[in-house]
Amino acid sequence: MNSVLLHELYFDGLTAKPADPQEDVRAALAKRFGSLDRWIEDFKATCVAAAGWGVLARDVVNAKLYNVASDLHDVGVIWLGQPVLVCDVYEHTFYVDYQNRKQEYVNKFVQFLDWNEINRRWLALNQ
Ligand SMILES: [Fe+2]
């Protein structure tokens, strides 16, 4: 079940026509990580370090955002974390096109984020 949910969050978080992040989620990421660029660098490093999933998650208790590396569908994600953005980093995702150049795959992934969807998720988690 977690695999299905994570794959849905992964695919639904991408778009062929990316736009700039909306102010709600941009401000939240900048507040937590210092800037949008600093969050992206940290998120990419998290994805490269993970064997399964890179996840931007919101802790339900403290409402803070975390970049979390998960090596399996049900391992590594913080217990009270609610996913806002998910990157599939299993080898099946990138090996055909990128072989062992995982960083290149992750760099490409963040260029096609659907910020409308990510912002919608962020707002839904903060109601
Ligand atoms: Fe996958």
Q: Which residues surround ligand 1, an ion (CB under 5 A)?
A: 88, 90
Residue 43 pLDDT greater than 90, yes or no = yes
Cα 94 to ligand 1 centre (Å): 9
Cα 110 to ligand 1 centre (Å): 16
Please answer whether residues 114 and 14 qualify as being in contact, where contact means their C-beta atoms are separated by less than 8 angstroms.
yes
Please answer whether residues 96 and 53 qualify as being in contact, where contact means their C-beta atoms are separated by less than 8 angstroms.
no
Cα 40 to ligand 1 centre (Å): 21
How much is the pLDDT for 73?
83
Cα 113 to ligand 1 centre (Å): 17
Cα 15 to ligand 1 centre (Å): 17
Write the pLDDT tens digit of every residue in 51-80: 999 999 999 999 999 999 999 887 878 889
Which residues make Cβ contacts (< 8 Å) with residue 94, sequence separation at least 6?
Answer: 101, 102, 105
On average, the pLDDT of the chain sits at 96
Which residues make Cβ contacts (< 8 Å) with residue 78, sequence separation at least 6?
Answer: 57, 59, 66, 68
Cα 55 to ligand 1 centre (Å): 13
User: What is the pairing mode between strands 65-70 and 81-88?
Assistant: unpaired
Write the pLDDT tens digit of every residue in 73-91: 878 788 899 999 999 999 9
Cα 89 to ligand 1 centre (Å): 7
Report all structural domains of the chain as residue ranges with CATH numbers, in order of start. Answer: 2-125 (3.55.40.20)
Write down the pTM of the prediction. Answer: 0.95
